[in-house]
Structure formats: C-alpha cells, structure tokens
Chain A
C-alpha cells in the first residue's frame, strides 16, 4: 500500500468472475447456506482454516450458519468456546499471528463490543506496530441488524465503528452469491476482515456459483443499472432499494442501485462514476444516521469531480437516532423500509438543480 488513493483499489487474492460468465454451475441456496458452503469449501481446501465461536458446534450457531460442519470437520476445527468474547477475539488473533487461519463467529455483532480491544487495539494494529513484519489473517463473522424483535442489545448495525479503523477490512454482503464469494476472499486475505451478515438475509435465496468462486474485497457492484438516480445501499437495504427501484420503474424512473459490498477498502470509483452519470444520489443504510458510513460515502462523492454533475444535494437515509426498540411497529419505524426509500427517491427527483 503506497498511498491513500490505493485504498480503493486494493483487492484480495482470488479472481473476480461475474456470475454470468462463470463456467461453474450455479445453485440456488440461501444466504446462510452460501456462508456455510464457503466455510466448508475453504476448510476442505486449507487445513489452517478453523472455526471458533459460541455454540457453533452441535448447536450450529445462534442462526444455524455452521450447522453440520462439526460432523465433517470435528470439534478441533469447529471449536465451541465459552461465553468469553475477548478471549474469542484475542485467541483468534494469536492463532492467526502464528500460522493459522481462524474464522471467529460472534453470536451478535453487538457482542463485538466485548471483544473490541482485541479487534481494534490488537488485531488491527499488530502488523503496523511491528513494522509490517507480521500478518493477522483472521475473519470475524457476526450477524447485524434489526427486524427480529431482539431489541436494543441484539440489533445494531455497527459497521462504521470498524470502518473507522485502519488495519481492518469491512465487508457486508447482501446476496447469497456475494456472501460466499466475499467470505472466501476474506478467509484468504492476509488481514483481519470484519464480515457482517444481516439476520434478515439469512433466509434469502439466490443463485450461487459452485466451487472456488470469489468476489474481490473492495469492489462495488451495480445491482441494477439506471440513469435517473443512484441509490447506494448497504446490506439489507440492497434488496429494499431494489424493490423500491422496481416500483419507480413502473413510473418510468430508472434508478441505479449500487452495493459497495466493502466499506474498507471502499470502491469509490464505481460510486463516483454512477453519481456523475445520474446526477442524483441517495444513500441508504440501517445504521444510525449520525456517524453512519453514509456520511463518508456522501463526502467522497461531494469531494470528487461528480460534484459538478450533481443536480441535487446528496440525500441520506439511515436509522433513527435511537436504540432499536422491541415493539414491532416501533422497530420498523426505526430503520428505513422499502416505502421510505421509494419516497426519498421521489423527493430527490423533485429537487431542482441548484
């Protein structure tokens, strides 16, 4: 890495192949199954890869993602840990530092707060502090997001916390294919990678290429091409934005929906190119708006040459300034829904050029 600008072009090992041109047969599976398949394939391929986390063995993990893996790989490589998140995080870092490739699962991303010193002060910084003479190839997987009635301590979207830390990579897949492809890249990456899975996506189905198929870290994807406005959406907001875009299309409005997929490194070229093309940008994430990653995306676009092509101020939609409530109605109100995205897009289109 030679300078700040190269951050956006750094990619993980492994090659990017669009699904359409892939020779590998495509199989329909859920997001959770796609993650499990990536874990299984990489554990078969690389004996250094192992899993650790709370209740990931016989129980299969809080969301069943690792279900069945202990039967194939045994309890040495699918390690149940006590409820000790700091030890979980640090132990994975220590193993990574000395030749292993651990994938540590946090039951909820909220609980990463308990392992935060290890992730942020240790894992993210060891290589740099040691003059570039160490590697920490560890993956921290965790479910994020609301919508399950789990209330304030089990529902947050904290991706911006991690994206703020040099030394970490942060990815949030929104489809089963991206989940598999990004996880394979994450495990093979020589750096610590925070891999955030949305709970509501676990049951989403989609086509997933079989075999050794990877998605590079640091590459956004245009999920739907369009010309009238750009919707940049993270995680669960990608399917919601696509649904809103379908409604807009019925009215003759073509929205381009882009999923950055990685926040650090961020593929700002793709975002800027789209903003320049459409002149109108809506950014949507579930995380609380203040300090959310949307602010970073907006700033990068506003500071780029796309600024001169903008026909309206950049609009952000994010979570309300509140902990996630338990009540179903309140919980829905706390985060952007499809209708909110649709309405925001309409508002953005009505804004006159400055």
Chain B
C-alpha cells in the first residue's frame, strides 16, 4: 500500500470497505445459490476484483453514468444499487431491477445512471461512447465510466470507440479491468503488447496502468480521468490490473492456471489490504472491521430473503417491454 497521502477521506475509506464486503458477500451468496440450483443460467463472479469497482465509483458523482460487463455485480453495488432488488433480479423475480427479464448479465438501473451489464464482450464500449456524446451535446456536467475487461480490448468496438471518443473529446473514462484472462486465454497469449494502457497512444489519449487491487491507486486514476473529462479534455484509458479467484463462469475447471498463481493473488487480496491499512492507521479497530464484514453478510441474507419472498413474473406479461 503506498504511503503517499491518499485523497480519500477516512469516511470514504470506510465506505469503500463496506462496499467491497458487500460485493464479496453478494457474490459468495450467488455462488452458493448457483450450486444449489436456485440461480439458473450462468454467473460471472468478480471475487478478488472488488477494489477496482468500488474505488472507481467512489471517484465519481451519483449522477454520472456507467456501462458494465458480464462480470458486473461489483459495478452495480458500487453504483449504489439496492441489494434486495439485485438479488431479486438474479432470482428472476418481478421485483428485480429488470423485472426478472435480464438476470445477472443484463442488470441495469437506468434511473440511477447504471446503463447495464452486458452479455457481449466489448458490447458496452460504443454505448458508453454514445453516452459521452449525449452528455456533451446536452451540456451536462457528467461523465460516463465504461467498464470492460482485458478480453474486450481485442474487440473491434474497443478500437473504434476509443478513436471516436478521442476525436470528439467525449467525457468517457475507459476502465479496463485486466483480470489477466479472457475466459481461459491469458493476456500474454492474447496480445503482443506489454500493456493495454499503451494502446491509448494509438488514439492520442492518456493511458495509465494501475494496481487494480489498490483502492487508492484506482481512486486517484479515475479522479484524474474524471477531472479531465469534466474539463472537456476528452477520454482516458485506465488499465487496472487485478485477478479473479473464481473461474470464468460455471463451466470453468481452472485448467489454464495453477493453484499457486491463484494463491499468490489471494495474498494480495484487495479487501484484506484495505482492512489492514485502516487498522494500521488507526482508522478502524479490528472489532469495527469485523462488524462491517458481518453487516455485509447480514444485508445479503436480508436481500436473499426479500428475493425469495418476491413473486415470479406473470407469464402473461411475457411481451411487456419489447417495445415502448
């Protein structure tokens, strides 16, 4: 953890820890429900990557927009989503954010600026660019944060969108969560260049690579990018290097990586790191930290109970929402 004075206030740090515990607790619950067959379809967990989502959203304002990915529970929670409505969505209930029509891969809350997870790798990048254009044309003091993964950095949409956002100076922050694998393919095998951040050079915009498990580094990078965007100076590419502990999805047997590698990353767990920092700097006592963690699991349990008790969608409502 860098000793440089973080711009985050103690209050914000405690809030970050709470958010990260909630993400972890939510996803552990989803994993469990999936194993038990209570959540169907597929699920993509971001356990181990919580710092990037939480810190990035901490650097933005409530009225800023985000576009998310298939691994988006953390983005959604960090954007301030109601855990009950999220869990109801994953259980396919009418009370869910998307009335049970979207599920984990399409969860959204447009009213709060969360423009949705996305089932297509790189699918949200052009949309975020359009949101940036919308903000600019309407003269709003907002930014759009576009989450995507290392796999998406090899999609055509990434290149087309960064170029377009660059030439139009759009207020978009392209935040790549490099968790090192696109499903099973490691970044080293998927691209010749050293970093994803260096691709910013090709589009004439700033690019920065940060430790994605370090809330301070992510917070500072996103804060700088947001300030540039708000000042009309255009987009920024940020590469946050992180790691997912769990497999890509339910079918993953982890054949493409070693236990040692996973264990080594778990040593650098972002939640443990922030908790240690808060403890060492006397900002939270071990008891307070434990209470925070327990509260997160309690909140998730309440969300689960809410979802369980919620009604299924009426089959006769099938066609609702196809057209406005």
By a beta-carbon cutoff of 8 Å, the part of chain A in contact with chain B is 1-4, 10, 50, 76, 79, 81-82, 84, 86-87, 89-100, 102, 117-118, 121-122, 126-135, 137, 166-167, 169, 190-191
Contacts and interface: CB of A to CB of B under 8 A. Distances in A.
Nearest to A92: B130
Given A4-B319, A130-B110, A90 B135 contact: no
A185 to B, nearest CB: 14
B164 A134 contact: no
Contacts of A92: 130
Contact of B163 (A84, A99, A129): A84
B322 A130 contact: no
Nearest to A137: B324
Contact of A127 (B65, B319, B322): B322
Nearest to A126: B116
Given A97-B115, A130-B108, A166 B120 contact: no
A167 B130 CA distance: 20
B52 interface: no
B323 A95 contact: no
A128 B101 contact: yes
Nearest to A85: B160
Given A50-B137, A118-B126, 17 more contacts: A84-B163, A84-B164, A87-B126, A90-B129, A90-B161, A91-B129, A91-B130, A93-B127, A93-B130, A97-B127, A98-B135, A121-B123, A127-B321, A131-B99, A131-B101, A133-B111, A137-B324
A122 B130 contact: no
A93 B100 CA distance: 23
Interface in B72-110: 96-102, 106, 108-110
Contact of B131 (A97, A129, A135, A169): A97
Given A87-B164, A167-B322, A131 B131 contact: no
A94 B101 contact: no
A162 B290 CA distance: 54
Given A129-B108, A132-B321, A76 B99 contact: no
Main SS class of interface, A: mixed
B167 interface: yes
Contacts of A4: 319
A81 B134 CA distance: 15
Contacts of B311: none
A57 to B, nearest CB: 14
Contacts of A93: 126-127, 130
Main SS class of interface, B: mixed
Interface in B128-174: 128-135, 137-138, 144, 156-157, 160-161, 163-164, 167-168
B152 to A, nearest CB: 12
A94 B106 contact: no
A132 B127 contact: no
22 contacts: A1-B322, A4-B319, A82-B167, A86-B126, A87-B157, A90-B125, A91-B133, A91-B161, A93-B126, A93-B127, A94-B134, A95-B131, A122-B118, A122-B120, A122-B127, A129-B98, A130-B116, A131-B98, A131-B100, A132-B99, A167-B323, A191-B324
B164 A127 contact: no
Nearest to A122: B123
B128 A131 contact: no
A169 B324 CA distance: 11
Contacts of A100: 133-134, 137-138
Most chain A beta-carbon neighbours within 10 Å: one of B130, B157, B163:
B130
A82 B120 contact: no
A81 B160 CA distance: 10
A98 B323 CA distance: 17
Contacts of B65: 98
B320 A132 contact: yes
Contacts of B115: 94, 97-98
Nearest to A189: B324
Contact of B157 (A3, A90, A97, A132): A90
Given A84-B163, A90-B157, A94-B126, A129 B134 contact: no
Contacts of A94: 67, 115, 126-134, 144
A90 B162 CA distance: 12
Contacts of B96: 131
B163 to A, nearest CB: 6
